[in-house]
Structure 1
């Protein structure tokens, strides 16, 4: 990679770290801490959360008709999502060891902490769990796809890739055949060592 690209990548990583620190500071202002991976609020905050909960019956009765009609369409996606989960997990389990690619830890992408929020009713908690699963799964699948692409085809596109994964930064330039052959040789040698 070029020196300028290395420098810019370093600056991006610094800004990402700064952003994470600022998000953590804002979280501290909401007065909660983590105890064995679970968010724990101060009693006063927890009391206020309970006061702000919309009761389930009221939530359902006041739902807009289009929300009620479209809910089954949204929840029907659970079937292809679960199938995707199974297929991609199986793909990774079979193929990654064969090519020396480090496996993606599924548990790192599945976060179900919103169900512990006292200001959510049962249906809101279910909705949050569904969204957590869907988005966690997509992130998990994306990482598996990124590692696959980084192993088999680490070449940047000629056109700008919108929403490219983190590994894309380190891909070789489009049209640089020498860099591609060097990268493939490095990957093959690394896989043989594993």
Structure 2
């Protein structure tokens, strides 16, 4: 029998799907399509985008000096992010086959596409590329970590968390020893052919 929690989770997935459908509809409104992972705008839309682009000089003239001074701090994070990317990719390449866990595809999480927006100047495109990489990387790492957690310790925490990964709802409740014993191996066995859970 379906529990109330399962019904809520199902409703969340339905709403996520509806949101994705809405985003797809907006593509038509802004007259672009994606061809082999490349964004293609209709020519009149590209022209209006180029006309809306703010020059780099104008963009920088509006920035507060302290914001400009923090830029090296923001961009210095590329080093730990790149190392995280490298180490997590090596980890899953070595360990996931041993554990029987399906590997996570980076390309499903890291999207670098905002450079196709002609209304952005060069610095804005660089910033958007950086943010797309870093935020996508965090989601990729989260998925690798969530698969690892499902394999080794699929137990919810005792307290409410601000946000949880998509697998968390399938974990056994904190303190449910019987549920843990009965579902741990089942959850582990699911990992071999697992696909990414539905995300927002």
SS in 1 for 2:33: strand
Give distance in 1, aligned partners of 2:192 and 2:53: 56
Shift of 1:168: 0.3
The aligned counterpart of 2:197 is none
TM-score by length of 1: 0.91
Please report how far the alpha carbon of residue 57 of structure 1 lies from its aligned counterpart in structure 2 after TM superposition. Answer: 3.0
Q: CA RMSD in A?
A: 2.0
Aligned to 1:186: 186
Q: Is the 8 A contact 2:155 2:174 kept in 1?
A: yes
SS of 1:120's equivalent in the other structure is coil
**Change in 2 beyond 3 A, CA 1:69/1:155:** same
Aligned positions, number: 193
Partner residue of 1:57? 57
CA contact (8 A) 2:151 2:191 kept: no
Q: Residue 102 of structure 2 corresponds to which residue in structure 1?
A: 102
Aligned-pair CA distance for 1:135: 0.4
Q: What is the TM-score of this pair, normalised by structure 2?
A: 0.89
2:150·2:188 contact (CA, 8 Å) conserved in 1? no
Q: Which residue of 1 aligns with 2:164?
A: 164
Could you give the per-residue CA deviations for residues 134-170 of structure 1, whole angstroms, max 9, x where no partner exists?
0011000000111111111111112112210010010
- The match for 1:139 is 139
Indicate how the Cα distance of structure 1 residues 163 and 191 shifts in structure 2: closer, same or farther if over 3 A, else same: closer
Any stretches of 5+ residues in structure 2 without a counterpart? 194-200
- CA distance in 1 between partners of 2:37 and 2:76 (Å): 31
